[in-house]
Structure 1
Amino acid sequence: MAVLVCLLAGLLPLSWVQAEAQWDPHGYIIYCPCMGRFGNQAEHFLGALGFAKSVDRTLILPPWRTYKNIPFDEWFQVDPLKEYHRVILAEDFMREFAPEHWPPGERKGWCYSHSGDTSNCDMKIGNPFEPFWTELGVDFDDYVLFNIGFDNMYANAWKERFPPEKYPVMAFKGAPASFPVKEHHIALHHYLHWSEAIQGEASQVIEKHLNNQPFVGIHLRNGIDWVNACQHVEGMTEFMASPQCLGYSREKTVIPELCLPSTQEILRLTRKVVMATGVKFVFVATDRHPLTAELESHLQDQKVKVFHLDPWLPQIDLAILGQSMHFIGNCVSSFTSFVARERLREGKPTSYWTFTE
């Protein structure tokens, strides 16, 4: 009754009341998204969401990790995820539930160990591990060792070995998921929707610079770190996010040109798609060189304008690319794979440099 009175009086936010009423006796999962940049973190997130569903625990939505923790809902909506499974923001969990159900002194970190060796189990050694947990206000008092896989086939083993009555919170050192994302988890991107803030910024760019007209979006990965990585891919059956175009059967191999396409290939395929769609705008997202002058010269007879934003937040590029009429990306890049999954949900076409089905 007191809570209801406070709510009606405006003394308590609705989100507090909802969270207070929803402690999950099935237990919780949280993890550090500590492997790579956003594209990798997003692939891990889909796997972690699928894992939480399989073991029937609420997923604590971890902050995205940049140079600091970014609350999950700054970039993505929470409610669509609830259509698939139970979730709660990490900040809400730490404020409302942790003091009683996961108090200091009883916080255990979960560490994979086949042999029982705990030498690699320190949850807070190095960056981003230490700052991630510190910014959430979490220290660990002990470890729980496990050697069970995260695939659905192991769900019963997790439930039997680690019942929520004894282990209410599983806090993993890294994501309980594979990279690249498992094929059966790709569809979970259906529940991942940009926040209104990200959508709004993307819409402003499209209106101001692309005249709200149809456009082709392209992603060029050509920074020096990428150039160096692509030198060693020849003959690999899988490299980073390559299954998005090569498939999961490992019957095809990665070639350097698939990882780092030539300028000639970029001009060729962009022109082909522009001619097929009839668009007058091309939007370029890249980590280094947008090839703006080269593209405009190559498309001069089509009177196409090429625009490169270089936004303060890379997620704005992603949101814009998702709205293109046709998207051309890098098969090996998880930045591209994020866009490709979103477009799969919307039924929009995606092509890849140097790749022919």
Structure 2
Amino acid sequence: MRMLFLLFCLYLLSFACCERFVLYCPCSGRLGNQLDHLLGTMKFAEEFRFTIVLMPFIHYYPVAPLGSISLTAFEDIFDTDMFSNPKQDHGTFLKTISWSKLSKIIPDVWPKESRNLNCLVKIDNEKIISKLPCELPSHLPYNSYWKKLNISFSGGKTLSFAHLTSELHLPGRNRTSVVALLKSPGSSPPLKTEYQYQSHLSWAELFKLKMAEKVPQRPYLAVHIRVASDMAKSCARIKDNPGIFAFKQCADENIPPIEENCVPSANTILNNIYQNLKSFDHIRAVYLATDSYYFVQKQIYAILREKYSNFKIYLNPASTEFGDLYLMEQADVFLGSCVSTYSAFVVRSRRLNNKVVKFIHVSNETEASNGIAKENNRSDL
């Protein structure tokens, strides 16, 4: 057994000797943002000929002391084979290695004394860049993330895109072997030119087996309800910032950037569910995914159970981020949040596979201001 392990390590070292690795902290937001940034990082890795390190995802506990996060290995959720075998007609070839594998050979490919943190900037003036500091923030999640990976930095260095481009022309041995970025070079929302990289994100077989017994009765409608207080505060300013978060996905559908379409009321949510159950009359179950469990339990779930007594209505207080993501992506019909980057991941994935996508919204501002559920006159909505 020990011999097999040594042979495995030798294989990784032979793979790594001339490779350039890029790794980063997915520290800019919750899961939806992390998945957005991943697409941009894939494009970056391909453009600069890096082997992309598939970093663990971050989970933030809703109520926890400062510094309390947990990490989920990339390969526990997604199939790493999809990077070398992209789907036909979309997707590209990317060189990848999971953090779990790279960590076994880290001392050989990235000695402690050369572990610099890199801050990437778009400035091309090297004199200015040389004066820019690059330091690891002391706050969550940056400090905790690298600590959990058992990585400490000996220093920091600011890099430009021009510098990375110039390294492409150097012999392999003269290039920087590992570039550890302060944060992802991608953006949220991702650029449309980055959507093609979504095809690499296919569920891992073990994860699908784990989720198999949790899939609702088919055919089912999955609804993502993102209405927590943080979103409500942001959406109050949507007229001044119509491109907020992932709202462009709805703007492309000619859905206006008004507050009710950003953080919808129970009336609007119910109206949309009613409309979709009427339009897709083969549906016999509804799965509710939300960041506001008690609101949905009282204002949505209870009413749906009463109105559709012959339907299965699902609301799971113990659901997980990736679990909800999977069940929404697998649904027969998906009704998403206009503004949520979490919904946006599901939308991109479903559109690649020609699955039905709808958004929670009102048809016009008058309906938004009235807030009347057309098919239900209950005063407690």
Taking structure 2 as the reference length, what is the TM-score of the superposition? 0.80
In 1, the alpha carbon distance for the partners of 2:171 and 2:178 equals 10
Following TM superposition, by how much is the alpha carbon of 1:298 offset from its aligned partner in structure 2, in angstroms? 4.1
Structure-2 change in CA distance of 1:355 and 1:181 (3 Å): farther
| Pick aligned residue for 1:45 from 38, 62, 65 | 38
| Pick aligned residue for 1:292 from 301, 313, 328 | 301
Could you say what secondary structure the match of 1:269 adopts?
A: helix
Could you say what secondary structure the match of 1:19 adopts?
A: helix
| Pick aligned residue for 1:94 from 97, 103, 121 | 103
| Pick aligned residue for 1:75 from 71, 74, 77 | 77
Following TM superposition, by how much is the alpha carbon of 1:252 offset from its aligned partner in structure 2, in angstroms? 8.0
Following TM superposition, by how much is the alpha carbon of 1:181 offset from its aligned partner in structure 2, in angstroms? 0.9
Question: Structure 2: which amino acid aligns with 1:242?
Answer: F
In structure 2, the residue matched to 1:29 is 22
Point out where structure 2 has 5 or more consecutive residues left out of the alignment: 60-68, 86-92, 365-381
Structure-2 change in CA distance of 1:19 and 1:219 (3 Å): same
- Counting only pairs closer than 5 Å after superposition, residues 140-289 of structure 1 correspond to structure 2 as 140-148=153-161, 156=165, 159=168, 165-206=174-215, 210-211=216-217, 213-247=218-252, 254-278=257-281, 279-288=283-292, 289=295
Following TM superposition, by how much is the alpha carbon of 1:351 offset from its aligned partner in structure 2, in angstroms? 0.7
The answer to whether the 8 Å contact 1:321/1:339 transfers is yes
Structure-2 change in CA distance of 1:236 and 1:106 (3 Å): same
In 1, the alpha carbon distance for the partners of 2:287 and 2:6 equals 41
In structure 1, the residue matched to 2:320 is 313
In 2, the alpha carbon distance for the partners of 1:254 and 1:157 equals 43
Question: Structure 2: which amino acid aligns with 1:148?
Answer: F
Question: Structure 2: which amino acid aligns with 1:105?
Answer: E
What is the CA deviation profile of residues 321-346 of structure 1, one whole-angstrom value per residue up to 9, with x for unaligned ones?
11111100111101101111111122
Could you say what secondary structure the match of 1:184 adopts?
A: helix
What is the CA deviation profile of residues 247-289 of structure 1, one whole-angstrom value per residue up to 9, with x for unaligned ones?
49xx986221121112222112211211222211111000113
Structure-2 change in CA distance of 1:283 and 1:148 (3 Å): same
Following TM superposition, by how much is the alpha carbon of 1:187 offset from its aligned partner in structure 2, in angstroms? 1.8
Could you say what secondary structure the match of 1:122 adopts?
A: coil
In 2, the alpha carbon distance for the partners of 1:254 and 1:139 equals 44
Following TM superposition, by how much is the alpha carbon of 1:100 offset from its aligned partner in structure 2, in angstroms? 1.7
Following TM superposition, by how much is the alpha carbon of 1:61 offset from its aligned partner in structure 2, in angstroms? 1.0
In 2, the alpha carbon distance for the partners of 1:158 and 1:28 equals 13
Structure-2 change in CA distance of 1:86 and 1:237 (3 Å): same
For the aligned residue pairs, the C-alpha RMSD in angstroms reads 2.8
Question: Structure 1: which amino acid aligns with 2:76?
Answer: E
Question: Structure 2: which amino acid aligns with 1:215?
Answer: Y
In 2, the alpha carbon distance for the partners of 1:252 and 1:222 equals 18
The answer to whether the 8 Å contact 1:123/1:173 transfers is yes
Could you say what secondary structure the match of 1:69 adopts?
A: strand
Could you say what secondary structure the match of 1:232 adopts?
A: coil
In 1, the alpha carbon distance for the partners of 2:7 and 2:290 equals 41
The answer to whether the 8 Å contact 2:260/2:362 transfers is no
Structure-2 change in CA distance of 1:308 and 1:52 (3 Å): same
Tell me the matched-pair count. Answer: 337
What is the CA deviation profile of residues 137-177 of structure 1, one whole-angstrom value per residue up to 9, with x for unaligned ones?
2111222212438xxxx974563599772311111000011
What is the CA deviation profile of residues 4-56 of structure 1, one whole-angstrom value per residue up to 9, with x for unaligned ones?
xx7xx873288545423311524110000001111100010111011101111
In structure 2, the residue matched to 1:107 is 115
The answer to whether the 8 Å contact 2:224/2:337 transfers is yes
In 1, the alpha carbon distance for the partners of 2:46 and 2:260 equals 38
Could you say what secondary structure the match of 1:185 adopts?
A: helix
Structure-2 change in CA distance of 1:16 and 1:275 (3 Å): farther
* Most deviating of 78-87 and 43-52: 78-87
Taking structure 1 as the reference length, what is the TM-score of the superposition? 0.85
Question: Structure 1: which amino acid aligns with 2:315?
Answer: H
In structure 2, the residue matched to 1:55 is 48
| Pick aligned residue for 2:129 from 109, 116, 119 | 116
Question: Structure 2: which amino acid aligns with 1:93?
Answer: L
Could you say what secondary structure the match of 2:114 adopts?
A: coil
In 2, the alpha carbon distance for the partners of 1:356 and 1:164 equals 60
In structure 2, the residue matched to 1:327 is 334
In 1, the alpha carbon distance for the partners of 2:347 and 2:144 equals 31
